[in-house]
A and B are shown apart, each in its own frame.
Chain A
Amino acid sequence: MGEFKVHRVRFFDYMPSGIRTIAFNRQTERIAVARMDGSVEIFKLSDNLFQEKVIPGKEQRGIEALCWVGERLFSAGLSGEIMEFDLHSLRPKFIIDAYGGPIWTITANPAGTHLAVGCEDGTVKLFEVLEDRIQFERNLDRKKGRVMSLSWHPSGTRIAAGMMDMIRVFDVQTGHVLHRLLVDKAVGAPRNQECVVWSVVFLSDNTVISGDSSGRVKVWDTITGTLIKNHDVTKWDVLALSLSQDETSFVAGTSEGTVVQFQFLSSVLGQEDKEWVRTRTFKNHTHDVRSVAEVESAIISGGMDTQLVVRPLLEKHEVKSQASALRTVQFPHRRLVSCAKKAQLLLFQYPSHLDLWRLGESEGEAVPGHRLPVRRNPEKLLQLKTKGEEHVCCSAVSPCGGWLAYSTSSSLRLYKLHYENNNISITKVSKLPKVLRSAQQLCFSADSTHLFAASTRSSIHMVSLSPDNCKHKHTFKPKTGSTQPIHLLTVSEDGQWLATANSDCEIHIYSLSSLKSHCTVPVYRSGVSAMAIHPTTNNLVMTHADQQVFEFSIEQKQYTNWSRKVQREGLHRKWMERDTPITNVTFNPRNPTHIILHDMYMFCVIDQSLPLPDRQSQFYNQLTLKSLPEQERQMHCHAFKVCKLFQPLLCVDMLEDDSLVVVERSLLDITAQLPAPVKQKKFAT
């Protein structure tokens, strides 16, 4: 097959932000995850946990709670404001101040007509949810002490509020307090230290369950106002609770990184009287579990260690399948690195700055498996800090390295780069066409003469670039009228075609010569995780979140024979079992039959000229092939050449001089940068 020169890059200090809260929408099966930096990510649970949308964060936003009302997503935070997100344009729809100081929690009533927020000043405020906004209705009786957590009774007539040292149960109609349930401090805690009720859950049988900072999970009867059961779960805090839909089980997330499941069981088999029994403990986190959600057959948890974990409940899975495997999301499912193939530059996207690096050069030859001496070290050419508080949502560098563009949710900036010997100068292009207000995705044409910016309502603006004048040439709009955000853009090498993919799983192809919509690829049920147009054949190669790979001939407007063969013979089981999506597709200019794909743990060269692996054959066969003599390799090799030498991967791309560039980010380094977890006593320490 051949040798590759690989630039192994480990200087991208990508650092994900900790997860603050998780909200699960049962109707649409989507998980909204808010991170510490104020960004919100939407994952589709039914689509292999694919990250569909990312709403970029903002300095000082500090989201504390998320809440779904139907398909609308609300958030509240320490700024004291309630915000609704526009999930189509990926930015806040409206922001209103609750005038109660920092907001700790927000929940919707089961009917979806009202929102209750808990404020620092001790008020519980009710807002009415209207068609396009929310309106303040009234306060419940104001009591001293901040409201940390809220939970509606399923009937919507009462609210339990977790406060400092106590839980209050309010009657929604009158606004009066029905019960005051005192929560005692942890044993041995100082007198002035309050006990924070981090989370409450109101059950339909009038039971309230609370998790507090003394490490206890308590079960209360709100009819009599008495404590029924007390579980000492941890020495630290119980931070989050989540109830299953059928109210037979709930999970509690703790500061120790454990998730504890409780179930409503009868203590004697066959008897009616049931009680809440602690059943299982899962430890998938190293740090605080800030939020948990119990869904149909799994527990979703996230916390300070930045990873989202979906832990399946094995008793609800009958067969061993992908759904019954533990899933973690560590890296975003989109590219944070863009690569200028001709100029050998890498652009790294951080939340509030961009780094431009030039790759090093090597000299001499080396045998496979060895390193080449580095003649010139990689060089950081530029660090570009963003203006304003908003975080970068997308960025791109042109293939020639002469242009650089980035966008936040409200502004788009374009820069021209000049290289003179070893100096680099950067000039901002000041007069941008009005339409380029912001972009969800950016892309330069292969000859660096045009910039494509995906804008709201699935439209793409095409701008021609020249050093002194940038002109808006055309705006493409999808025929289907979809308004979902575009998350992938790709232009063919010859500048003829543009392909876009949006969150509705639609892929539109536009002709750049006629400035018209060319065709739409048949919609596949799974999200598009990566795509690219082949430089010589103009075939569009697409990969989906469910690991399927398709090849679509743009000129013939149909799937290619190879793609049909793949569908007919089926992909290998090992390929389908991978749990991270393909995040980039690229091609080998030296050999047109090669497609290069990568996910987090491997990169793979698909040789379309070779037979596909059949069910019996060994999928990861590189080592076997290596051990075989030359003439026998032919018999055993198949189309998928998987290389796992480099991982975890953020980016793999092919440069114009046929060398590969791989960007690795060690998970250990990420963990090392996290704050220290709570101290736990181990043996002999």
Chain B
Amino acid sequence: MAALFEGSTLCALSVAQNSTESGIQGIELHGDDDHVVVTNSSRSVTVYKVSDQKPLGNWTVKQGQSITCPAVYNSKTREYVVVTDNKVIRIWTDDDINIDKTFRATVSSNVWRVHSALDQEPVVLFHTGAVRLLDALLAEPQQNVEVILREEEIIRWSTLVTSGKQQWILYVTELKGEHFIHVQNVGDSRRAAYRVEGAGFAPLSFSATPRSGNLNILSLYPDGCVYVSMVPMRLPVVAERQVLALPRTLLLRLPLAEGEGALVSASAVPLDAAHVAVVGVPHPSAGAGKDYLCIWNTNFQTLQAGKEIAGKIYGQLWCYSGKLYVPHGKALSVIPFECQKSSLAAALGKLKQSGGCESTPPFPLPLWGAAVSEEVSASGMATRRNKMTRKSQGAPTISVDQLIEQIKTGSEEEVQKGVASFLSKSDLPGLQLAVGSLARALVSRSLAEPSFYPHKVLVQLVHTQCLCHSGCPELLTLALEKKDFALCQFCLQVFPDIPEAVTCACLKVLLSTPDSELEAVTLETDSVAFVEGLSAVTAQEEKQKDGEETQQNGFTMVTVTAPPEDGSGNTRHTHQRKPKLAMSLDITRPVGLYRAVLLNEILQTPYSDTFLLPHLKDLTAPQVILFLQYLQFLYVKYYHDINTQVPALRSPTMSQIIDWVCLLVDAHFTILVMAPEAKELLAGLHSFVRAQMKLFTDLGKIEGSLQALKKAKQSRDNSQYSIEVIELF
């Protein structure tokens, strides 16, 4: 559903009594979303910050001059461009205070409009229909401009449409009651003219948007009909003065109240592919009166949102970056809106997505179970593009339901194939649901049938990043049960919502599994490299130590004997060293490489300490000591290697390590105090904390002298006497 939000007043309008003009010539975007340039029909141009409803700058031309074209902002050069008295182009910047003292150039022919798109050179459209780029025009302001329009043909409306690097100028002209649309490509100056169908009625408003290779031109007629016409972006080669016919299709018929005449001042603006905002039309359920701003869905011809607008409506409406600008009564209002793609549209395949948003993860659907179990079929959801990919694969289409049925009975290979082909259509909306139900089906079968464990399929599903713990609660437990640590790592990385109990269970399993069992596991390389890097630093340190005793940052080393090795030991990755030599700075990694990698993942999972603490108490004393030793190892490494940081995408932060140490000591303090083997560990941690505190007190001591240095610098500026040179202008 689309929605209109509470609006705010940007500025007041200076409108004469009973005037049909709003006093606003135009509103243009100012580089970013939050600033607009408002051109007053009198003589002034104002820049507003929309979120603050605050004017940031205002420029007024002299009395006697008038602004004949809305000011535009050239975001490339950060300049404003306006035309006064039809022929004088003025350019100024934010720093200029007086517009009269800024750059101006007089051109040879009357200018209709200057149009500007973001990061593009502004384009000047003359009354004669000629089009020039601003810089080319200013290079020779008095250059002759060709006459394109016929006699008495006058421009009614114009716009600039941008798609990629290309720009098109569209303008509507009127000649003897007939309307023509002229389109000109700014780059290659190809042009074409079209006759608008349906003479008789004069359209109230136009607007144009680029859409999949065409320029869609929306026009609103006084009888409440909104028509759309399409002009190809690749303009046809036509003879001079040849006018093509332009077919139009009825997009929307706005209901007009009985007895009320035709619309007088109304305007329509397309918001996205399916929504149109209309101002100055009656609300179908609110009776007479035309003081409404409505958003219509053109796909379903339904009214999505409506808002009564107080005061007179001038038939002007602009839409920039999620906000509608409506002058009404004596104020210019800014009304934010939102157009969500309605799920019905998505479900019925009416929604054509226009690139860009396909890569983002699908949005959640409100009805999880229902949406999947209902008759929503994969083929129904497929878009044209998906059909093509499917054709190229040559695989038959299967729905989620079919796939689940297949999972229940099929062999591992079949299941893998089915899922792979299903996932290739990754741009499906509602993939999250499908993946969740697939995973649930897989896990429930694996639990029921111990021989069935589709590791690859599960990894694939987790990799879609559409799965979370609550979507399939048994998955992680299953992986632990099957000792599938690779899957565990992925889950720990991907799932944002692992309960603390499960995290603790993982931890427990990891701490109790011997390193030898973990060697066969293939883990994500980046994290492995990180732990290896840490160990390499240890080796380097050892080498240095052999040569000479180096100290970094004047840090006094605290002697701690190496922690006892875990029962099974690890000969491949840890350096076996004599305990008596071991200093705190080059302690050996107490756990194996792969275990360390997995423990790091656990350290990085989100948790809440209140919930984690009771579960931590389930760990046994040896597990706690081992984990603490590992944490101490990490801490020492981090502390020591502040300048030799190992680069890694994912690594536990210092504060995560400290938090875990605190939690662990909190949970098992009594046990740790009693256990003789933990004594040295605790003493080591204690001495480390002491060393840290000493460092900080020392830093505190020199604070005074640092501040004195700062003050000394200031006082020089406050000297009693100086001889300076100033210049007056």
Contact = CB atoms under 8 A, between A and B. Distances in A.
Contacts of B720: 9-11, 378
7 shortest interchain CB distances as A-B pairs? A368-B727, A625-B729, A362-B723, A11-B720, A641-B728, A372-B723, A1-B728
B723 A8 contact: yes
Interface in A353-402: 360, 362, 366-372, 374, 377-378
Contact of A643 (B97, B721, B722, B728): B728
A4 B722 contact: no
Contact of A6 (B101, B718, B724): B724
B725 interface: yes
B719 A3 contact: no
8 contacts: A4-B726, A6-B725, A6-B726, A362-B723, A366-B725, A369-B727, A371-B724, A633-B729
A371 B97 contact: no
A95 to B, nearest CB: 41
Given A637-B729, A643-B726, 14 more contacts: A2-B728, A3-B725, A4-B727, A4-B728, A5-B725, A8-B723, A9-B721, A368-B726, A369-B724, A372-B723, A378-B720, A643-B728, A645-B726, A659-B723
A8 B724 contact: yes
Interface residues of A, number: 38
Interface string A21-39: 0000000000000000000
Nearest to B62: A616
Contacts of A378: 720-721
Interface string B581-621: 00000000000000000000000000000000000000000
A626 interface: yes
Contacts of B723: 5-8, 360, 362, 371-372, 374, 659
A537 interface: no
A372 B725 contact: yes
Interface of B: 95, 97-98, 101, 718-729
A3 B726 contact: yes
Contacts of A469: none
Interface in A156-184: none
A487 B728 CA distance: 32
Nearest to B97: A618
Among B721, B723, B729, the one with the most A-chain Cβ atoms within 10 Å of its Cβ is: B723
B728 A374 contact: no
Which secondary structure dominates chain A's binding surface? mixed
Contacts of B727: 1-4, 368-369, 626
Given A618-B97, A624-B97, A636-B101, A1 B729 contact: yes
Contact of B724 (A1, A370, A624): A370
Nearest to B729: A625
Contacts of B98: 618
Interface of A: 1-11, 360, 362, 366-372, 374, 377-378, 605, 618, 622, 624-627, 633, 635-637, 641, 643, 645, 659
A467 to B, nearest CB: 32
Contact of B721 (A366, A368, A377, A622): A377
Contacts of A8: 721-724
A340 B725 CA distance: 21
Contacts of A11: 720-721
A2 B719 CA distance: 26
A7 B719 CA distance: 12
A5 B722 CA distance: 10
Nearest to A645: B726
Contacts of A362: 723
Contacts of A372: 723-725
A605 B97 CA distance: 24
A10 B725 CA distance: 16
A667 B572 CA distance: 75
B721 A10 contact: yes
A656 B720 CA distance: 23
Contacts of B728: 1-2, 4, 605, 622, 641, 643
Contact of A7 (B718, B721, B729): B721
Contacts of B722: 8, 371, 374
B719 to A, nearest CB: 7
B726 A369 contact: yes
Nearest to A605: B728
A82 B10 CA distance: 66
A4 B727 CA distance: 6
Contacts of A626: 727, 729
A636 B729 CA distance: 10
B50 to A, nearest CB: 29
A637 B101 CA distance: 13
A409 B497 CA distance: 89
A503 to B, nearest CB: 34
Nearest to A642: B728
Among A2, A8, A641, A659, the one with the most B-chain Cβ atoms within 10 Å of its Cβ is: A8
A528 to B, nearest CB: 26
A4 B725 contact: yes
Contacts of B95: 627
B414 to A, nearest CB: 71
Contacts of A624: 97
Contacts of A4: 725-728
Nearest to A12: B720
B282 to A, nearest CB: 46
Contacts of B101: 635-636
